[in-house]
Amino acid sequence: MTVPIPASDEACVCFLHPRVGATSVALGMSAPFVLGRSGASADLSLDWDPRVSRRHARLVARADGVWFEDLGSRNGSWLGDLRITAPVKMQHGMEIIVGETVLSLDDPRTRKRPLPILSRGAGRDSTVDLRSDAPAAIAAPPDTLDLPIVPVDDLLPPVPTIRRLKASPRFIEELVVEARVTGPDGLAELWERELSRGILFVPTPEMRSAGALIEVRLISPHGMLKLEARVEWRIGSSTSAKTKRPMGLGMSVHLATEDRRAIREYAEGLVDRLSRSEDGQASSVEDRGAIADELVELASDGDYYGALGLAPIAAMLEVRARIKSLRILLETPEPGPHGPRFVRALDVLAKLEHTLSDDARRLAYDLKSGHVRAEERIALAKNSLGPSLLALRTAWEQAWPDQADRAAFLSRVAFQHRAKGKQADAIEAAKSALELHPFFDELRITMRAWSKG
C-alpha cells in the first residue's frame, strides 16, 4: 500500500534536524497545522528541538501553495537573517529555520519513502514517527461525504493524525456528553477546531437518532459549563470503513453570548475560571478588575504590548483580536465600586487600539519605544512585505529628528574620510551614523563594501 501523494508537490514539507534526519510530510489542503510542543495544542510536536515554542508556527496548504506563519514564538522563525513576522508563501529553495529545525518544500524527485499525511481525515489513534529511518504512517486522505442533513465540509471534525485531541468528548450517560480539558490550552484547541463553529464531534460506536438533544458538560480544572447540543449527522461503521474516519456523532452546539464569552476568556487566559458570569459573579468581577488594573498600569508605563499580553512582533490580526476580546471582557456592566476600574481601562484600551491597530501609528510607536528591528524590517521591505524603505526612513526621521540630522552629518564625515584615504575613520563614522539612523540602508551597504576593500 502506498500513501497518495497530493496533486501539487508544493503540499509536501521537509523537516531537517540532527535528531530526526531529513523527513517529509504531506499537508491536507486548507487545514491549518500548528507546529510546537506536545501538550500545547500543537498538531505536529517538534519535541526533539528545545528551541521550539509551545505553539511556534503554523502551516497551511492552499491551492496557491504552502503558507508559513510564526505565532509570536520566543526564538522566532527565520529566513536567513530575516525574522518572519508576517505570513510567508514557501517557495522551492526557501529554507525556514524554526528553533534549530529547517523547513523547506519537499522535492518529489528525491523522495525515497511514502509520506505520512497531516490531514483532517485520519483517525485519532494515528501516530507519525518523523525519524528518517522510521516506517511511514499510513493515513487516508479526507474524502467528501454526501450526508443529507448538513454540508459535511463545514461540519466534519478536524481530527489530527499526529496526536490525539487533548479533549476527547465521550458519552457518560445516554444523553450526556462529558468533554474534559486540562486547562486553557486544551480548551483553546477544542474552541478553535470545533466549538467556535458551533459543532462538536463525539467518537462513539453507539448511534443516537438525528435530532436527539444532548447535554454537554465542558469540564476544566477551574470550573465547568453546561451546553445544549443536538445530533445532526452520524458516521456509522460502513462510512467509517470507507472513509477511515472514526465512528461517531456530529452535533450542533447552542452557544449563548455568555457561553462564548466564558470559553474565549478562559481559553485566552484572560480569566482564571471557566464559568458564566452569573455562575461566579464575585470571582469573575475580581478577575476582570485585576486585568483592568494591569492593563492601565502597563500602558501608563508605555508597555502597550505588555498591556495586551502580546509580543511586539504579533501580527496585526492578532492585535485586533486581542483588543476585541479585552473590550468584550471590560464592557460587561458592573454595579458598585468596580465600575470606575472598567471605565478607566476601556479608555486606555481605546488609546491602545488607536495606536496599534493602524500600521503607520504602530510603526511610529515601535520606533519610539525601542521595538526597532531595523535590519529585519529592511529585509521585509526588500521582499515587498510591510512598509517600504522610504516609509521606514520617513517614520524614523519623524520619531527621532535630531538623531536623523546627526546621522546625516556623520555620513558626510564618513565620505570625507573615505575621500582622504582614511579608511578606518570612514568606517567608524559610518557605524556611528547607523547607530543614530538604522534605516539608512544605503550607508550600511556602502560601509560593508568599504570593510571588504
C-alpha span between 45 and 91 (Å, rounded): 23
For the domain spanning 165-267, the CATH number is: 2.40.10.220
CA distances from 75 to 11, 253, 301, 311 (A): 26, 38, 25, 12
Measured over the CA atoms of residue 258, residue 261, residue 266 and residue 271, the dihedral's sign is negative
For the domain spanning 374-453, the CATH number is: 1.25.40
C-alpha span between 166 and 158 (Å, rounded): 13
C-alpha 345: how far from chain center:
26
Give the pLDDT of residue 108: 56
Q: Residues 6 or more apart from 358 whose CB is under 8 A from it?
A: none
Q: Which residue has the cell 463553529?
A: 197
How many other C-beta atoms lie within 10 A of the C-beta of residue 82? 19
- Residue 136 and residue 173 in contact, taking contact as beta carbons nearer than 8 Å: no
C-alpha span between 25 and 114 (Å, rounded): 9
Please, is 116 exposed, middle or buried when counting C-beta atoms within 10 Å of its C-beta (0-12, 13-18, 19+)? buried
CATH architecture of 9-118: Sandwich (2.60)
Give the pLDDT of residue 334: 54
Helix (H, G, I), strand (E, B) or coil at 113: coil
Question: Residue 29: beta bridge partners?
Answer: 61
Could you tell me the residue ranges of all domains in the chain?
9-118, 165-267, 281-357, 374-453
Give the pLDDT of residue 127: 35
Give the pLDDT of residue 435: 92
How many other C-beta atoms lie within 10 A of the C-beta of residue 137? 19
CA distances from 91 to 76, 304, 356, 383 (A): 19, 35, 31, 13
Give the pLDDT of residue 24: 78
Give the pLDDT of residue 372: 92
Give the pLDDT of residue 75: 85
Give the pLDDT of residue 284: 58
- Residue 41 and residue 133 in contact, taking contact as beta carbons nearer than 8 Å: no
Backbone angles phi, psi at 13, to 5 degrees: -120, 135
| Residue 98 DSSP symbol | E
Q: Which three cell numbers stand for residue 392?
A: 521606514
pLDDT tens, residue order, the chain (453 aa): 223 334 344 478 888 765 555 677 878 776 778 898 887 678 888 887 778 888 899 888 888 888 899 988 888 888 876 888 888 988 887 878 888 787 888 765 555 444 544 543 333 333 344 544 443 332 333 332 222 333 333 333 333 333 344 557 899 998 999 988 888 878 888 887 788 888 888 988 888 888 899 999 998 888 889 999 999 888 877 777 776 778 888 898 988 888 888 888 788 777 777 887 554 443 456 777 888 888 999 999 999 998 888 888 888 887 888 888 888 778 765 555 557 888 899 999 999 999 999 999 999 999 999 999 998 898 888 888 888 888 898 899 899 989 988 888 888 788 888 777 888 998 998 899 899 989 888 888 888 888 886
- Residue 236 and residue 205 in contact, taking contact as beta carbons nearer than 8 Å: no
Q: Residues 6 or more apart from 442 whose CB is under 8 A from it?
A: none
- Residue 222 and residue 211 in contact, taking contact as beta carbons nearer than 8 Å: no
C-alpha span between 237 and 45 (Å, rounded): 31
Backbone angles phi, psi at 359, to 5 degrees: -60, -45
C-alpha span between 331 and 313 (Å, rounded): 27
Order of strands, sheet of 96-98, starting from the edge strand that comes earlier in the sequence? 82-83, 77-79, 96-98, 101-105, 12-17, 21-27, 117-118
Q: Which three cell numbers stand for residue 139?
A: 493515513
Please provide the size of the chain in residues.
Answer: 453
Give the pLDDT of residue 136: 38
- Residue 30 and residue 62 in contact, taking contact as beta carbons nearer than 8 Å: yes
